[in-house]
Every structure is written in structure tokens, then in C-alpha cells.
Structure 1
Amino acid sequence: MTQTLNSLTINADYLLEFCYKPRTNNSNDNRINVFWYDANVDFELGMTAALIANSTRNLTPNWALQSVSFTAQAQSMNLSFASFGTQNTLGGLVDNVSLAQVTSVPEPSMFILFLIALTLLFVRQRKLAKQA
């Protein structure tokens, strides 16, 4: 299952979250692979999965939140979910899929941190001088 996502911001980070639940207790029967690739590229089975959700019903009886971060290399990217493992029409379940752009919080520069520390030190010294 593939969805083409358009109007993405190149080099922006995106967070994919979805719920996964294995359907059977058989190993190699419930695997869901997630792929993120340029929309101009055809899907190939040899692609490296960005995330692999794999469990059994007895190990994961409830829905489990899965998350992975991606960086957009193009304005149009494909997001694919593919079932791998035993071909028996069962496989894992996917629900509540969301993709949101992640805004990074800029780190304060060392100069600003130095100024804050220097100001606090100055204020402390003045308080100590007034108390003496």
C-alpha cells in the first residue's frame, strides 16, 4: 500500500506514527515493513525498509505505537507499507497512520549561554556585597 505525499519541504524532518498489531501467533507471519522513497523511483523489493514492525499476537496482544523519523529528499515522496513473511493473507494490522513535519528547536548559542551565566554571577556577587 503506497501513498504519494506532495508539497513536502526538502530536507525537513517528518515523524511517522502508526499503530501495529500482529494478527497471528506464528513467527514470520505478521511483519510490516515501512518504506520512504522519492516518488520518481519505482518500488523494489530490494529496498531497505525504514522500519520493520514484527511480532506475534501472544507477545503483542494490543495495538503498539510505532514511530520513525524521515527526511524529505524531494517535494514528492512515497510512503509504503508492505507485508512480508509467510504468504497466507493474514499478516499484521496497521491503523491510525499520521505523518507530521517536525520543527526542530534551535539550540542556544554558546555566547548567549555564557552571557546568561555571567549575568547570574554578577547578580550573585552584588547580593553578596550588599549583605556584607
Structure 2
Amino acid sequence: MKFSLNIRMMGWMYAFLCADGLARRAADGPAAKKRVAEEYRRVMERAKDIGPKNNLTSAYTMGAYCIAMHRQAGVSFEDCYVILKEGFESKRGLASKFLGAGEAYVSKKKLPGRLKWAEKTHRREYPNDWVVDIR
């Protein structure tokens, strides 16, 4: 997958959200941050493409960041979840600006756009397309 500006910005956001938790849980604390960022880039460059404007890009990049934390900082996947959860809770404003609020996903006003997106996912245009059904 191309390491585009969007993918890079998602990595910066997760690095910011996870910085405090990673410093507390990683064996070498803050020094792990740079290694995790480098591993995140390697993981994303090896990842199969899901398309440039896919609504699931944030979930895809979050998974890649968890893999990078696990590999480079030695934290378990359970700790990765806790680190992300604490980061989202402590920096709620930033996370909602990047990812949106949960209410937006159930909004009737946005339903036509989500239905179009779900239809587009069935075309399987990219190697790692996720097919979505909205009912």
C-alpha cells in the first residue's frame, strides 16, 4: 500500500494517542516510539491496498499501529488495546476530529452515502477490499 499523506497522518495521530501509554508499558519507554513509527511504515507499505478513500482506512491503520507496537515495543495485543483505549479517552477531541463521533455512523441523514459506499465495496476493486453490507 502506498504510504500516502493520509496514511502517514493516521500514524501520527495514533503515535500521539498512544505516547503516554506506550511510555508506561514498553520496556524502554519513550525510546520505543521511534521504532514503532518505523515499523508502522513498514507494515503499511507491505499491506495490500484497500483504496484511497475507503471508510475503513482508520481501522486498517489502527490495526497496523497495534502490530507495530507489539513487534517493536514488546507489548501484548491486550495492552495495545488498553493503550489505544486510554489514548482515545484522554484525548477525546483529537480522536473525534479525525475519526468522527459514533452518532455520525447511525445518522439517517448519512444513510444514502453509506449505502453507495457499501455498494462500491462489492465491486472488489482493490486486493484487500472489505465487503460491507448495510441494512
Q: Which bracket does the TM-score occupy, shorter chain normalised?
A: under 0.3
Q: TM-score, normalised by structure 1?
A: 0.23
Higher helix share: 2
Q: Larger Cα Rg: Structure 1 or Structure 2?
A: 1
Higher relative contact order (CA 8 A, sep 6+): 1
- Normalised by the length of structure 2, the TM-score is 0.23
Return the structure number with greater strand share. Answer: 1
